[in-house]
Chains A and B, each alone.
Chain A
């Protein structure tokens, strides 16, 4: 018999799942943790248990990771929990079983499959995050709010929120995640918040704003002009350009699909 813990796809949800699974004492090899959105119907010989997300339990898990395996490992686990590829909850669980057993040196066991899985997720999230830190575009709405849309494979919103809070602490900005239907909202001088929003239109309606600012179109033209003229003709290399800036990032970059304005 396998016991499957079904948890919410958030970091808190996954950590709660780990807490419950751990304290069940059913034996690690009899347990699997899955996030709800990856669940496609029950399998035979499995007992399913629904996990109620519990902030306190999640914080306990976070604290023990930091204490027993270290901060570096915690960051890695945290990022893996944001990874968009199937199976993240269970990968993290396996990694933690090993980590709690042997401590901080788990990070050196690069060839162990449990460790490698988390390393790869972590690396993939970082890579995509670095891309979005660069390729995300804000447009200025008529009331001065900076507005952006993204569609990342991993759940980058919390990480991007942090990045832009540091960078644009004095601005009002919104990042809308089209795929997961969530937005990060930042008001000048206060920490950002995450909000479920089913559509961009709903968001704009809430703000009561539909137009871009007067300068916006001009600025986009200036930027487009800059990007066009900075390329060296003698070195033209679109293949390279595509490799470095894959098309999937360009959906909301107006300089590469100027029809959008």
Chain B
């Protein structure tokens, strides 16, 4: 037998295809709890687990790889675009499955995050991804976490099959507007991206039937190419879907971006939207040259604002507007909002309702909950709420305890602004200056706030 090209060894392949996947930021694991079962390997914890940290300080939780970078598309921002001269490689479904199991058993990872370039055609690629998951779930009985990309333009049937094997699926929006997309990704279009998103949304909504007593079987036509799947007991994408946008490759402002994110949450029931500061790897003439490196501070502000949308009851139009379409470089979005709404302050800690407390700078989800709980039995003072995690030097302009403010301060925009700028906001290292950046997805301060205490049952069941 003659081989047309020599097989790359596994290490080389892994290097090429993890290198190619590293710009994908959507690497949080889980969001669901699933206990281990006999005769299977693995479980998942809703809080997710970081197994290592890469040299850029980001959490490594999943085996994050591309199935292939032998891509037939030519997206201008992508290092793997057809016209770019990079080393190419593809895995086989079995290789990915084995590697996942071997890594998982050594406790290197929580599971697999499988993305891919377009090999031959969207259908062919989706088939390969589906096959990989099938081997993992049904041959290796892998019960850990799997996040897989749905390839726009692939047969909905393939997406459906894959969805019953995956925990999370994502379709990347890539760029905030359809216009930007058609300019930078000539082979893609917005409609083809939204279609599988809708399909996944509808599929997950039906999980309620699958769980309930009146389990309704979905009619799935059998195709001879793919192995048949047992549908009973299986849930469709139980951890929901996420998406990702590149920030700074196209001229959209923060307001447009946040609006898009908001509608993805509301209209497509997304679990997470990820923002990826644009790193110029291709130097295409259609792309902006970023003198000061990737727009990390902007990305940071967007994550903060995103957090406010999801957990603090804010709306995009409260944080930004046509007139003021970009975030303040110097202030986090919540402070910025509070300064623009001084008429709502100060609020009384012992009386204000939970959502009002949440809007106070320096009070997070966790401290707000603690306050609400603790004030049932006692009248709270500044010393008490400090112990509960309230950052007083930020909150002091906006609250009273027992009718009194901490210091006699003026409730006036310039005055507060000056004081706030004096005690500097703690930015993740690298953001807003030279150097690198920190992954905000998993461990930003906000998240810590939410994760601890309430969720401490996580991993400590029984």
Contact = CB atoms under 8 A, between A and B. Distances in A.
A208 interface: no
B376 A108 contact: yes
Given A116-B387, A219-B103, A134 B460 contact: no
B11 A255 contact: no
B38 A170 contact: yes
A79, A159, A240, A243: residue with the most chain B Cβ atoms closer than 10 Å? A240
Contacts of B293: 234
A55 interface: no
A238 B35 contact: no
B39 A170 contact: yes
Contacts of B10: 218, 222
Interface in A202-261: 215, 218-219, 221-223, 225-241, 243-245, 253, 255
Interface string B35-69: 11111111101010111111111111101100000
B437 A140 contact: no
B94 to A, nearest CB: 15
B350 to A, nearest CB: 14
Given A170-B41, A225-B14, A237-B438, A135 B55 contact: no
A136 B107 contact: yes
B384 interface: yes
A233 B15 CA distance: 14
Contacts of A79: 460
A109 interface: yes
A137 B107 contact: yes
Contacts of B102: 215, 219, 222
B435 A123 contact: no
A77 to B, nearest CB: 13
Chain A interface, DSSP helix/strand/loop, else mixed: helix
Nearest to A133: B49
Contact of A126 (B387, B435, B460, B462): B460
A244 B438 CA distance: 10
B57 A237 contact: yes
Given A108-B376, A230-B64, A236 B436 contact: yes
A108 B369 CA distance: 11
A114 B169 CA distance: 46
Given A108-B374, A134-B51, A229-B18, A140 B387 contact: no
A200 to B, nearest CB: 18
Nearest to A169: B36
Given A129-B459, A167-B36, A231 B51 contact: no
Interface residues of B, number: 71
Contact of A222 (B11, B54, B388): B11
Nearest to B12: A225
A162 B457 CA distance: 13
A135 B51 contact: yes
B52 A135 contact: yes
A154 interface: no
B61 to A, nearest CB: 8
Contacts of A135: 51-52
A67 B430 CA distance: 50
B428 interface: yes
A145 to B, nearest CB: 11
A24 interface: no
Interface in A143-198: 146, 148, 159, 162-171, 189
Given A240-B56, A240-B437, 7 more contacts: A110-B388, A134-B107, A139-B106, A146-B105, A231-B22, A236-B436, A240-B57
Interface of B: 10-11, 14-15, 18-19, 21-23, 35-43, 45, 47, 49-61, 63-64, 99, 102-103, 105-108, 279, 293-294, 296, 370, 373-374, 376-378, 384, 387-388, 428-430, 435-438, 443, 452-453, 456-460, 462
27 contacts: A108-B377, A110-B373, A116-B387, A130-B49, A135-B51, A146-B106, A166-B43, A167-B41, A170-B38, A219-B106, A225-B15, A226-B14, A226-B15, A229-B14, A231-B22, A232-B22, A235-B296, A235-B437, A237-B429, A237-B436, A237-B438, A238-B55, A240-B428, A240-B438, A243-B57, A253-B52, A255-B52
